[in-house]
Amino acid sequence: MSKYIKLLDLADELDAKGLEKEAGVLEQFVEEVGLKKEAKKGYHKCGLKEETVAQHEELMESYQKSMTHYEKEYKKLMRSNNEKDTPNMGPLRDICSNYSHNCNAVRFHNMYFDDVINCRPYGLEKDSAMKALLKELFEGGPDKFESQIKRLSKVSRNGWVLLNYCTMTKELYLDVIDLHDQHVIACSLPVLALDMWEHAYYADFGLDKEAYVDWFLSRVDFRNVRKRIKNFQRIK
């Protein structure tokens, strides 16, 4: 495994010099040729069981199909004046509710897979720029970040723990979202998503949420998180 680690270290050096494309090519080579050979049989390269990841991917596809369906139905109804709208019932209200649920599910899952499952970890110990952002924008800084995620994961049910960037306060904060769409705070943009639905962790960690969060934090590619924050900071 040592020769692959050396290649990954070289990729880090390229990325630090701004050669992101070259670093990506080298990382992809290591992922496809090196790490697959080292992967434990029956386990995905991220460390979870292959069955866990496969079932999760299948669930993502179902959310994508549902989102596409409700998006089409929404546009169809908005062009029509034949439906009678009522405060608590009716197809338009139902479609809007289901669209937001599935749309958020797709976006959160895409972020989760990009940052944790189908990536190479790039931790805070390497990403000094991300640590600086946490020190500047997150109450308690990087020292509090991991402990606060663990704290919120324990009170989360079926839903998500999100690291959000608020476009009003210009700060980062952690939030608990039930399902995919309950308790979402206005003007908040997610930059990191921790999936706390049981299908994400139960087969590998049982009810040990803390062990799952330790795995999650060990897998995050914080370069993605940092880039999102930088993009959102441009919003005036």
Sequential DSSP letters for 100-169: HHHHHHHHHHHHHIIIIISS--B-TTT-HHHHHHHHHHBTTHHHHHHHHHHHHHHH--SEEEEEEEETTT
| DSSP structural state of residue 18 | T
Which residues partner with 165 through β-bridges? 172, 189
Of 117, 139, 154, the domain-final residue = 117
Assess whether pLDDT exceeds 90 at residue 112. yes
| CATH number for position 150 | 3.55.40.20
- CA dist., res. 132 & res. 54, Å (int): 36
Could you give the maximum distance between any two Cα atoms of the chain, in Å? 67
Do 136 and 221 fall into the same domain? yes
Q: How far apart are CA 235 and CA 231, in angstroms?
A: 8
In the predicted model, what is the mean pLDDT of residues 28-35? 60
Look up the domain containing 56 and give its range. Answer: 50-117
Asked if the model's pLDDT at residue 145 lies above 80, the reply is yes
pLDDT-derived band at 49, boundaries 50, 70, 90: very high
Structural domain contains residue 217: yes
212 close to 196: Cβ distance less than 8 angstroms: no
What are the φ/ψ torsions at residue 224 (nearest 5 degrees)?
Answer: -65, -45
Same domain for 20 and 74? no
User: Minimal CA–CA distance to 211: which of 202, 220, 224, 199?
Assistant: 202
**10 is a domain residue:** yes
Q: Number of folded domains in the chain? A: 3
Q: Which 8-state DSSP code applies to residue 126?
A: T
Kindly report the backbone phi and psi dihedral angles of residue 59, in degrees, each rounded to the nearest multiple of 5, phi listed first.
-65, -40
**Whether residues 82 and 166 fall in one domain:** no
Phi, psi of 172 (to 5 degrees): -100, 140
pLDDT (0 to 100) of residue 31: 63
198/140 same-domain check:
yes
pTM of the model: 0.81
* pLDDT, average across residues 165-170: 95
- Please give the pLDDT value at position 182: 87
Q: What pLDDT, on a 0 to 100 scale, did the predictor assign at position 33?
A: 57
pLDDT at 170: 95
| E strand or H helix at 175 | strand 172-178
CA distance 145 to 82: 51
- CA triplet 218, 142, 12: central angle to 5 degrees? 50
The Cα–Cα gap between 72 and 67 comes to 9
Look at residue 2 in the predicted model and tell me its pLDDT.
45
